[in-house]
Amino acid sequence: MAGRLVAALVFSELAMGLDRAVVSAAVSPASPNQTTGTATGSALPPAILQGPLLLAGCALLAATIAALVVMVAAPVAGFVVVWRGSASSPWRSGRWVTRYRLVHSTALTIRACTAASAASADDQPQQLREVARRLAVTSRLIERSYRDAGSVRWHSHRRKSLRRHAGLVIAKLRVVESRLDTDCDAALRELAAALITVCDRYVHGRVGALLGCVSEVDLDVSRSTSWVGTI
């Protein structure tokens, strides 16, 4: 439809230019060249092509801009759909990435715990910082685990209790993490065991029971009520 409209405008402008050229040629006196018939083609002024060329240039520019926008926006939109999607994503790959990224992050955190446990006294502080960094990423994914799992619709009444449970799980992990400064080896083993439980229950769809031994006392001990209130 847009192409037909542009073509109609171009042809109409060309016809108007030709009419103006014919009228001006009829009104103005004939030149010597015209009387002798040596250069009859020069009677049409170049101005009649300015309008159609301008329209064609504008159409070409608009098509180029549209093509560039599509080329840039399509990859960005695809990345957003895949990485920020959910189980309702139209792309199967998007559903796969969002569902299992908690599993991947949990595995990396467990590996960091193993490396910190086997590290020497000189390397252990750096390894413990890596554990804290990995655990922070895993905690953010635990916050949205019930959404990434895709088993709960966005307006379901179950989401409130699942948000509360995710906050309790994160609070429990923070309590265990705080023991890294008092009993590092025991805390690393306990943290790895808790993450294994979280990963196993998440894979089996138990997003409302990621850890079995979490309670309100954990929130009071860790002072982490912001984890629950802001999810």
**How many whole angstroms separate alpha carbon 218 and alpha carbon 208?**
17
**How many whole angstroms separate alpha carbon 86 and alpha carbon 98?**
6
pLDDT at 117 over 60: yes
Q: Are residues 213 and 160 in the same domain?
A: yes
Highest mean pLDDT (candidates 52-66, 112-126, 211-225): 112-126
Q: Are residues 54 and 110 in the same domain?
A: no
Domain range for residue 116? 101-229
Q: What is the pTM of this model?
A: 0.56
The predicted pLDDT at position 19 comes to: 55
The predicted pLDDT at position 230 comes to: 44
The predicted pLDDT at position 149 comes to: 83
Structural domain count of the chain: 2
Q: Are residues 161 and 77 in the same domain?
A: no
Residues 211 and 198 sit within 8 Å (Cβ to Cβ): yes
Quick check: is 40 in a domain?
A: no
Q: Are residues 163 and 136 in the same domain?
A: yes
Quick check: is 65 in a domain?
A: yes
Quick check: is 38 in a domain?
A: no
Instruction: Convert the pLDDT of each residue in 157-200 to its tens digit.
Output: 888 899 999 999 999 999 999 999 999 999 999 999 999 999 99
Q: Are residues 57 and 110 in the same domain?
A: no
Q: Are residues 186 and 218 in the same domain?
A: yes
